[in-house]
Chain A
């Protein structure tokens, strides 16, 4: 009833004027009031047809938006004119959130927030980036301390194995058998879980450029906030729950490991930069493909991997 009253009110109020009706957090609304999708469907098919109303449905739960809004079983299937996946900021956009930081710290800020505006706003409130990271990630009351778990719970029914898989990859296990060994589950099961995490854009599979063979691919973490979190937080949990210890451990141990992590972020940012200057006089050629390439070294018997 509430939905119909609201939509009728809008139709009446807007008349012939161009009107935008924006519903944010649509998955939560649908969870509280499941008939809403069917009601919207009826309005899209009838009363909205002769109006100038644009309806925008917004939600951060990708599984819900993709399956229950865009999916073919959804009442709204086929009624969407445009779908936009709002991507995180790239390193340049992220940089504008942190004008007072030096470039290396901006790289770290991008590397731990993944370019998500909400997380960047939280981090930008601190004058000192290390204070910010410590307060947000390495603190039981910190905003990002449980964020990855909460996001996984929102998307998936059994987050535990998913978390172990992400942690395995964050700690350097890149192939299916290595990940399976780490999480102590059979590869067939792990493979299915990995597929779900790829759909959620938390993981991705990287192949040597020009080689699409599935056997050559390695798994990596696409979401940088997840990568940062699972690289550092779970293994320091014992210290995090004792605030007197975390200050010391952060300064003496955790911080010194950021440099290695920044290597990975710098590689990502370098790729984004190459695409940014592609087609400009800064490059004497035009890039068609960009990626990593590795191969067994034919000159060495131990078949050591060569990374480029």
Chain B
């Protein structure tokens, strides 16, 4: 996310991918921020 400070856009979303899944903290964080979490299972089933 620190890297994205180089991009000067007002509205930014993050899509994060993980083969193994995400920690409960990150899942909570994603709910209230512009973060979309996608797991390997999502990729194959949704």
Contact = CB atoms under 8 A, between A and B. Distances in A.
Interface of A: 91-92, 95, 103-104, 106-107, 262, 266, 269-270, 273-274, 277, 282-285, 295, 297-298, 306, 308
A269 B3 contact: no
B40 A283 contact: no
A240 B3 CA distance: 43
Contacts of A91: 43-44
A106 B44 contact: yes
Nearest to B15: A274
Nearest to A274: B15
Given A91-B44, A277-B46, 13 more contacts: A103-B41, A104-B40, A107-B40, A269-B43, A270-B38, A270-B43, A273-B38, A274-B15, A283-B36, A284-B13, A285-B13, A295-B6, A297-B6
Interface residues of B, number: 15
Given A92-B44, A306-B6, A104 B19 contact: yes
21 contacts: A91-B44, A103-B40, A103-B41, A104-B19, A106-B44, A107-B40, A266-B19, A270-B38, A273-B38, A273-B42, A273-B43, A274-B15, A277-B46, A282-B46, A283-B36, A284-B13, A285-B13, A295-B6, A298-B6, A306-B6, A308-B3
A95 B44 contact: yes
Contacts of B40: 103-104, 107, 266
A306 B41 CA distance: 29
B29 interface: no
Contacts of B4: 308
A283 B4 CA distance: 19
A266 B13 contact: no
B36 to A, nearest CB: 7
A28 to B, nearest CB: 38
Interface string B23-46: 000000000000010101111101
B17 interface: yes
A106 B43 CA distance: 12
A270 B43 CA distance: 7
A283 B14 CA distance: 11
Interface string B2-15: 01101000000101
The 10 A-B residue pairs with the shortest CB-CB distance in the complex, in nearest-first order: A270-B17, A273-B43, A103-B40, A103-B44, A306-B3, A266-B19, A95-B44, A103-B41, A269-B43, A308-B3
B40 to A, nearest CB: 5
Contact of A262 (B3, B15, B17, B19): B19
